[in-house]
Structure 1
Amino acid sequence: MPIKIPNHLPARQILEDEGIMVMDETRAATQDIRPLQIGLLNLMPNKERTETQFARLIGATPLQVDLTLVRISNHQSKNVAQDHLEAFYQTWDEVKDRKFDGFIVTGAPIAHLEFTDVGYWDEMVDIMNWTRTNVHTTMFVCWGAQAALHHFYNVQRFRRPKKAFGVYRHQAATHASPYLLGFSDDFAIPVSRINDIDHASVPNDLEVLINSKEVGLCLLNEPKHRQLFMLNHLEYDHKSLVEEYLRDKEAGLDTPPPVNTFPNDDITQEPLNRWRSHAYLLFGNWINQMYQNTEYDLNKIGTK
């Protein structure tokens, strides 16, 4: 079954070229089933790239998914055309009365700021609290995961002496979790972060699903509220780290090339994607769990 996205969204052609089944709003209206409602709060500056990356993974499920793109209400984006936002995005104010089967909160390039110094932090707090009442299951990613861990569980973070930047080996901490069905014991995941969370401050009711001997915690699960916290970037495509590296160089930053990204560490060669299969596995497992456990009547979400 396809993913339903807004008519004329630029990501559509990319997804169709990759073989992802896509259904526009007009066609979806004729389907006599209830699609899963998934929202994507996109905090990244390059919104078109990020929405494509997540839609690619969400669209690989055999279920029909209705994807709603969401943005912060009181924040003006400097890196995307306003007509794109107005055509394809809804503000949180516009969706806060809705219920969702699933909701994703992306990362944001604001790691240098304290959480309370972020201009839209108050709205972020409202959104994070709202996910507990209006969303069946939530996935927080990178900065979004650190922010939610801080807000809900007072998990502390600290500055790394050196940015973790590249593709690192990770290990499954358990194979009993339904979110890790099909996962190998050891696999690659892209990482791009200067901050880490303090493992000692993580409460016992958070289950570690994926860890790395090189760069620490990666994926945490909180089963009571059906929250996943992904600290790294399985959604990245093969050029994401390279584009970040080039952007840092243009900004005059002394960022080394991402490790374990290029064949033979030769930056003149095309980077390899070593994590694609596990990205599809994680999102497929997440959506399958969502489908198995969510309410058929959306209005009942958050009432138990």
Structure 2
Amino acid sequence: MPIRIPDSLPAHAILESENIFVMTEHRAMHQDIRPLNVLILNLMPTKIVTETQLLRKLSNTPLQIHVEFLQTASYTSKHADPSHMAQFYCTFDQIKDRRYDGMIITGAPLDYVPCEKTAYWDEVCEIMEWTKTHVHCTFHLCWGAYAGLYYHYGVEKLDLDRKLFGVFPHEIRKKTSPLFRGFDDIFMAPHSRATDVRLSDVEAIPELEVMAVTEGGSLAIAKTKDSRQFFVTCHTEYDADTLSQEYFRDMEKGLTTVDLPKNYFPNDDPTQPPRVTWRSAGQLLYSNWLNFYVYQSTPYDVEEIH
């Protein structure tokens, strides 16, 4: 079954070219199926790229999914096309009285910025508080994960001396969890962050359980024991060239602290095309989240979410 998005969203043509079934609003209205309502708070400056990456991962499911995009009202992105934002994005005031089956809060380029110093921190806190009663299951991604852990549980985020940059093996701590159905015991996933948390701080929270860690013991995935909130620091939604674009961009800026992304370029040779080793894990992660933690337990009447 397809994802349901506006006909003119730029991701529409890209996904159709990849043989991903995207349903028009008109066709969806004539199906007697209640779609899952998924809201995406997109905090990334590269709006269209992030939209396409997430929609691609949400598409591989037999469920019909109605996706909406949310932007902050307290901060206007300097890199986003205003017409694109006006056409495809809403603000919190416009949707705060509605309820959603699932929500994704994305990452943001905020390494070394304390949460309280973030321009839209108060608004994001209001949205995260609202998710407790208006969203059945929330997926916090990268900076969104650190923001969520800090806001909901007081887990302090830490600055790394060197950015964790590349594609890393991950150990699954909860192998019988439906979240990892179809996974190998070790899975690969990209990271691009100079932020972390102490694993022991997360493990000390009774309401949380650690689901997966990186090869070096850094938190990769945690969730609440009631499965209403997920915190994911790895980027399984990344395209093949996402890390290379970041690497070459930083090299062109003359940054002296740029590391070659690990386990990414064949033979660590940046002249060679990157080899993707995380695509299947990413598809499974998002599909399993939707199927087992949103669809299987959300009320049929979305208004019953609380």
Deviation at 1:224, TM superposition (A): 2.4
Name the counterpart of 2:298: 294
Distance 1:37 1:218 in 2: 26
Whole-Å separation in 2 of the counterparts to 1:98 and 1:110:
29
- Corresponding residue of 2:183: 183
Three-state SS of the structure 1 residue aligned to 2:296 is: helix
For residue 228 of structure 1, what is the aligned residue in structure 2? Answer: 230
Aligned pairs for 1:126-141 (under 5 A) are: 126-141=126-141
1:223: how far off? 2.6
For normalisation by structure 1, the TM-score amounts to: 0.97
Identity of aligned residues (%): 45
Query: How many angstroms does 1:225 deviate by?
Result: 5.6
SS of 1:293's partner is: coil
Q: How does 1:142-161 map to 2 (within 5 A)?
A: 142-161=142-161
Q: Is the 8 A contact 1:132 1:225 kept in 2?
A: no
- Using the alignment, how far apart are the partners of 1:268 and 1:110 within structure 2? 29
Unaligned runs of 5+ in 2: none
- Structure 1 residues 274 and 26 mapped into 2: Cα distance closer, same or farther (>3 Å)? same
Shift of 1:249: 2.2
* Distance change >3 Å, CA 86–CA 38, structure 1 → 2: same
Distance in structure 2 (CA, Å) of the matches to 1:176 and 1:260: 27
Contact 1:168 1:215 in 2 (8 A): no
Cα distance in 2 between the residues matched to 1:282 and 1:242: 23
Runs of 4 or more off by more than 6 Å in structure 1?
Answer: none
Query: Is 1:170–1:188's contact at 8 Å kept on the other side of the alignment?
Result: yes
- Offset from partner CA, 1:62-91 (integer Å, 9 cap, x none): 110000011112211111110000111111
1-structure distance, mates of 2:190, 2:215: 14
Equivalent residue in structure 1 for 2:240, among 238, 257, 263: 238
**Length, aligned pairs only:** 302
Query: 8 Å contact 1:172–1:183 — kept in the other structure?
Result: no
Q: CA deviation at 1:215?
A: 5.3
Q: Which amino acid in structure 2 is aligned with residue 186 of structure 1?
A: I
Q: Under a length normalisation based on structure 2, what TM-score does the superposition of the two structures give?
A: 0.96
Match of 2:206 among 204, 207, 221: 204
User: Which residue identity does 1:70 align to in structure 2?
Assistant: L
Q: Which runs of no fewer than 5 residues in structure 1 stay unpaired?
A: none
Structure 2 distance, partners of 1:70, 1:83, is 15
Distance 1:63 1:129 in 2: 27
* Cα RMSD for the two superposed structures: 1.1
Deviation at 1:21, TM superposition (A): 0.6
Which has the higher mean CA deviation after the structures are superposed, 1-10 or 196-205?
196-205
Q: Which amino acid aligns with 2:291?
A: N
Give 1:160 shift. Answer: 1.5
